[in-house]
Structure formats: C-alpha cells, structure tokens
Amino acid sequence: MAHSTSSKPAPPTDLHPLLQRHQALVAQQRSPFTLRMHRALSWLQRAEAAGADDDVAFVCLWIAFNAAYAQDLGHGAVPEQQAFRNFVGDVCRLDKGRALAGLVWQVFPGPVRLLLDNQYVFQPFWDALNNPRADGSIPDHWREAFDDARQRVHRALAQQDTERVLYEVLVRLYTLRNQLMHGGATWGSSVNRAQVRDGRALLRRLLPVLLGVMMDHPAQFEGRPFYPVVAG
C-alpha cells in the first residue's frame, strides 16, 4: 500500500511526553496558553524534519521559542528586551527541578562559552561595522562592550547564575535570528556555519525543557498570543 507523502514525520521520542501533556491540558480547557504551546510544538516538530538543514531548523526552533514566550500581558507595550529578560527570569524561578540549570552546567558549558566568545553574534559589533567613522574605519567601542559582556558572563558562570547565562545565550541567538530572518546571511553559507550549527543544537535541547517548565505552571503564562485565532 502506498504511503501518503503529506503525513507528518513522527516526533522524536523526547517530544512525545510534551505532546501528551499538551493534549491533557487541552482536554481540561483550551486557553491562550494551550494555543501558544500548540504553535510552539508544531514548529519544534517541523525543526526535526529539517534534517541536515541547520538554517531551516534554527529558524523553526526560534519560531517555536517565540510562540511560547511572546504574550500580550495587557499592561501596555513592554520593550522586547525587557519582555525577554522577564520571561527568562520567570522560567528559571519556576524551574524547581533545576532542569534548565542541568542543561547549562552539565550539557552546554562548552558550546555556551564558544557562543559567548563569538563576536559575530554580538549585536554591538554589527552596529559598529554598519556605522563607520568618516574615514571609513570601524569604531572599536564595541570591543569594550564585548569584553564587559564576557566578564559578566564569566562571573555568572563562576557563580552558576543560570538566569544570567541563559539570558545572555538567548540574546546572542537573537542576533543570529536577526541575521537569518532579515536576509543577512546566505542559506547554507560556510561563513556562519559554527554559530548556526551550535545555535540549532542549543535551542533543540533547550526548548523541550523550557516548554516542560511552562506546562508545569500554565497559570503563570496565560497571556494572549499577539495573533490569536480569528474565526472566518
């Protein structure tokens, strides 16, 4: 019998528990939270289907992350950086089993250090490059900011400050996300392979844990999605 080519690939084993937990939450009551989780899980599954395509996988993983964390909390516009910081703080505070900490300190230490020492995912580097002096030279003030950020992260690593390290990692990955989503990189380019490959690996391990923490505390993340479902 011929198999349909439109069927979705089976989710990886570690996503099955999240899909089951989501179904259980939906069975209790559909909510803005279950909608955001549904969207996040759909993009997480799509990232798995990307195979060896690190660019597509990273973009899908970032969309999954965005679907999970972006929510309209109803108190006016919050700057994205502050919303980002608040979200990271919330999930770390609620991570009673220290699953996120386990990732940062047991699984990620090498890739995290490499990412945080990479100037090409540090936004002030690109800001300086895109705003040269009158003589065409690149302002070097970004180096001081880069060194300050590295020292800050190294202190956080020494103190095992999961929230600070995780926030800094996501900020760097946000810069990488901007490069890809705004057409600042070539698909399959050899120039940025290391950060795309490492970014994919980091998000792939991080997202299931992060979504698990959120599902443990759905009431804490009940903000409406900015693009709710509208009946036609």
Q: How many Cα atoms are found within 13 Å in the side-chain-facing hemisphere of 226? A: 9
Burial 143-173 (b: 16+ CB within 10 A, else e): eeebeebeeebeebbeeebbbbbbbbbbbbb
pLDDT digits (tens, 9 = 90+) for 104-120: 888 777 778 888 888 88
Q: What pLDDT score does 185 carry?
A: 87
Q: What pLDDT score does 75 carry?
A: 59
Q: Name the residue type at position 168.
A: E
**Residue with the two structure tokens 């937990």:** 21
Q: What pLDDT score does 84 carry?
A: 84
User: What are 224's strand-pairing partners?
Assistant: 72
What CA–CA distance (Å, rounded) separates 142 from 139? 7
pLDDT digits (tens, 9 = 90+) for 146-182: 999 888 888 888 888 999 989 989 999 999 999 999 9
Q: 175 with 58: CB under 8 angstroms? A: no
Task: Identify the CA nearest to 180 among candidates 53, 79, 51.
Answer: 53
Task: Identify the CA nearest to 165 among candidates 180, 177, 153, 179.
Answer: 153
Q: What pLDDT score does 157 carry?
A: 82
CB neighbours of residue 226 within 10 Å: 9
Q: How many helices (H) and strands (E) does the chain have?
A: 10, 0
Q: What pLDDT score does 52 carry?
A: 93
Q: What pLDDT score does 212 carry?
A: 95
Regions of the chain where pLDDT drops below 50: 1-7
Task: Identify the CA nearest to 34 among candidates 22, 46, 47.
Answer: 22
Q: What pLDDT score does 62 carry?
A: 96
